[in-house]
Structure 1
Amino acid sequence: MLRNKEIRVFVISTVLILGIGVLLGYIHSPVTALFIAVVGGTLAVCYIVWMIWRYQRMIQLSSYLRKIMAGDTSLDVRDNREGDLSILKNEIYKMTRMLSEQQEGLKKDKEKLTDAISDISHQIKTPLTSMTVMADLLSEPDLEVEKRQEFTYHIRRQLERMEWLVSSLLKLSKIDAGTTLFHKEKIEAKQLVKEAAAPMEIPLELKEIDLEIEGEPCTAFIGDKNWTKEACINILKNAVEHTPNGGKITISYEENAIYTEIRIRDNGQGIEKTEIPHVFKRFYKGSHAADGSVGIGLAMAYSIVTNQQGDIEVNSEPGRGTTFILKFYKQVV
């Protein structure tokens, strides 16, 4: 402790002041000199003892900080007593908890990034292998024209599928990482449903599916229009895939004092009861999944809705169709 310059200065100053006081007291009388020496010495000893105790606590805090820097964020150094050192210990504890939470957040972000990269590599592996084989066949000079056109068509389809897949996975990764900014604007349900149904006009016409839209014209909610429209498109696309030729899809919407609800109902094959808890999982494909389905559309719809503090539910009966229910709650001011 005496290696500390401040302590050395204090001890030397105390001894000099005490010596001068004793000398001046001795001039007055020996008793006065003795009294000054006893009182001054006692105060000096008490202060030195207090300083040693304080110095030991500082060493303890330094030890805590070294452990924290080494990665041990589980230390609990809270101190509810009064005093500057207690305040310092509580601040160190707050900093430790903040670092621990940041570390956990970074760990989760890394896991999400790893999962996203794994998902992308897994999903593009099959089409890449297929295109490699077809590219090798296209390099043969004596390949028939019909086969060449067929292989070219399939390669183009696979490239389009890969482009959509990578784009969707990147969107999902941004949503999972919390880097996607969802705007808050008033959305008219009628206009939203109309825009979501527009891209599905050709698939609906090819399968002769009747699309019925019903609801109050004034129905509205607060959310991000573009992202919510994408969620509705993915659910509507899923409904078209699972609705037989000549079937029917109904989109309805209504508003109450608590939330605005959008229902997308089809009369298709339905979903088995055991499969319902898994329909929103990424890359999950049910027993009635269409050929070429990768199981990402409903997962994206789920992420979009829930990240806007909404809910999405599914009700289904095998052979009687499926209903997806999107709920957007009122904003509390």
Structure 2
Amino acid sequence: MNDGKKYWVVGGTVFVMILSLVCGYLFQCPALPVAALLWLAVTVSLLKRERNLCRRQMEELSGMFNDILERTPLVFSGTMRDTLDGKLAGQMDKLQGLLQYYDRALWEEQESIKRLITEIAHQLRTPLANLEVYLSLCKADASGEELALYLDAIEVSEGKIAFLIESFIKISRLEHYCIQIKKEKRDIRETLLKAMAALEKKAAARQVGLKLLTAEPLQVLHDKNWLCEAVQNLLDNSIKYSSAGGAVEISFQDNEMFTRIQVRDYGIGIEAGEEAQVFKRFYRGRRAAGEEGFGVGLYLAREIVLQHGGFMKVTRKEQGLLAEIYLPR
């Protein structure tokens, strides 16, 4: 019973009592005051029942708050249907759902951090061990060519550690959305040429040719620095896994929905079933076991593309691999 109905019942009861007493006095009818008293008794009984119902509802709401705090499922009874208390109960149920969602998200975040720490320790173990070995050899009175060889090995290990640390920082910033992708309408061809220039020296050292097949400029909404890094990662993989005399071809096309960037190489490629696996953090393809690398290039590239609102995919070819970036128009 809501407040408005309560006021009408009490007011009506008082009115009927007064009217019955007056009529009983005027018309000398004792039945009217008796009827008024009976009405009063019924009204008091109804108000007591309503009070008890309100008490039960308050106790139930209190129990629901306790269930939310204890993270236990909420249980509803029939006393809270189509009332303000029922609406509150429904809102509390939604609140508990939100709390459970955030609890689950927090747990997943903690598990992700644990996995990342484990992967960092695993990836750093080898270069750190190499560094320790070569430093001990340098201390063992090494000289001449031997010392130069050890110092070169130390420099390589130091470079690997620096690369890993930089990659970990980028991974963390991308995964936690600490990086702002500033998209602007720019010529995508210039971005691709910049990425190619950064890998030109490495390609020449491995005798791999880089070819941009599309000559026409194209204005595309993108962050030139971050997208350049994503393309560099694709090119770096293609160069690394191509043999001497090979080629890496870059092209782009435009349609109503996407701008597609393609990087095609004719290297060792990947095994069947690895098309989705290669985008996992620190994943190394089975054919890449004998090559240098840490398995972060494609992962970082995909994270960058995802934050552009696009997606990536790779396709196995009879020889080599085709990697594609799709950016929304």
The interval holding the TM-score normalised by the smaller chain is 0.7 to 0.9
Give TM-score, length-normalised by structure 1: 0.84
Residue in structure 2 matched with residue 75 of structure 1 by the alignment: 74
Q: Which amino acid in the other structure matches residue 253 of structure 2?
A: E
SS in 2 for 1:279: helix
Q: Which amino acid in the other structure matches residue 216 of structure 2?
A: P
Is 2:239 aligned against 1:243?
Answer: no
Q: Which amino acid in the other structure matches residue 198 of structure 1?
A: A
CA distance in 2, matches of 1:211, 1:136: 41
Structure 1 position 34, deviation (Å): 3.3
Alignment of 1:1-333 (within 5 A): 25=21, 29=25, 33-72=33-72, 74-75=73-74, 77=76, 81-140=81-140, 142-215=141-214, 217-289=216-288, 291-318=291-318, 320-330=319-329
Structure 1 position 90, deviation (Å): 1.2
Tell me, yes or no, if the aligned pair for 2:200 and 2:210 is still in contact at 8 Å. Answer: no
Report how many aligned residue pairs link the two structures: 310
SS in 1 for 2:286: coil
Tell me, yes or no, if the aligned pair for 1:113 and 1:173 is still in contact at 8 Å. Answer: no
Alignment RMSD: 2.7
Q: Which amino acid in the other structure matches residue 110 of structure 1?
A: Q
Per-residue CA deviation, residues 277-320 of structure 1 (Å, 9 max, x unaligned), is 422222222233253211111111122223333121212235x2
Q: Which moved more, 1:116-125 or 1:150-159?
A: 150-159
Q: Which amino acid in the other structure matches residue 227 of structure 1?
A: W
Q: Which amino acid in the other structure matches residue 108 of structure 2?
A: K
Per-residue CA deviation, residues 11-50 of structure 1 (Å, 9 max, x unaligned), is xxx9xx98xx79x959974655434432223212101101
CA distance in 1, matches of 2:180, 2:37: 73
- CA 1:100–1:78 in 2, change beyond 3 Å: closer, same or farther? farther
Tell me, yes or no, if the aligned pair for 1:311 and 1:327 is still in contact at 8 Å. Answer: yes
Tell me, yes or no, if the aligned pair for 1:185 and 1:222 is still in contact at 8 Å. Answer: yes
SS in 1 for 2:287: coil
- CA 1:85–1:278 in 2, change beyond 3 Å: closer, same or farther? same
Which 5+ residue runs of structure 2 have no aligned equivalent?
A: 1-9
Tell me, yes or no, if the aligned pair for 1:196 and 1:229 is still in contact at 8 Å. Answer: yes
SS in 1 for 2:312: strand
SS in 2 for 1:249: strand
Structure 1 position 97, deviation (Å): 1.2
Per-residue CA deviation, residues 254-285 of structure 1 (Å, 9 max, x unaligned), is 11111000011112222232433422222222
Residue in structure 2 matched with residue 8 of structure 1 by the alignment: none
- CA 1:76–1:322 in 2, change beyond 3 Å: closer, same or farther? farther
Residue in structure 1 matched with residue 6 of structure 2 by the alignment: none
Q: How high is the sequence identity, in percent, across the aligned residues?
A: 24
CA distance in 2, matches of 1:312, 1:192: 17
Tell me, yes or no, if the aligned pair for 1:262 and 1:326 is still in contact at 8 Å. Answer: yes
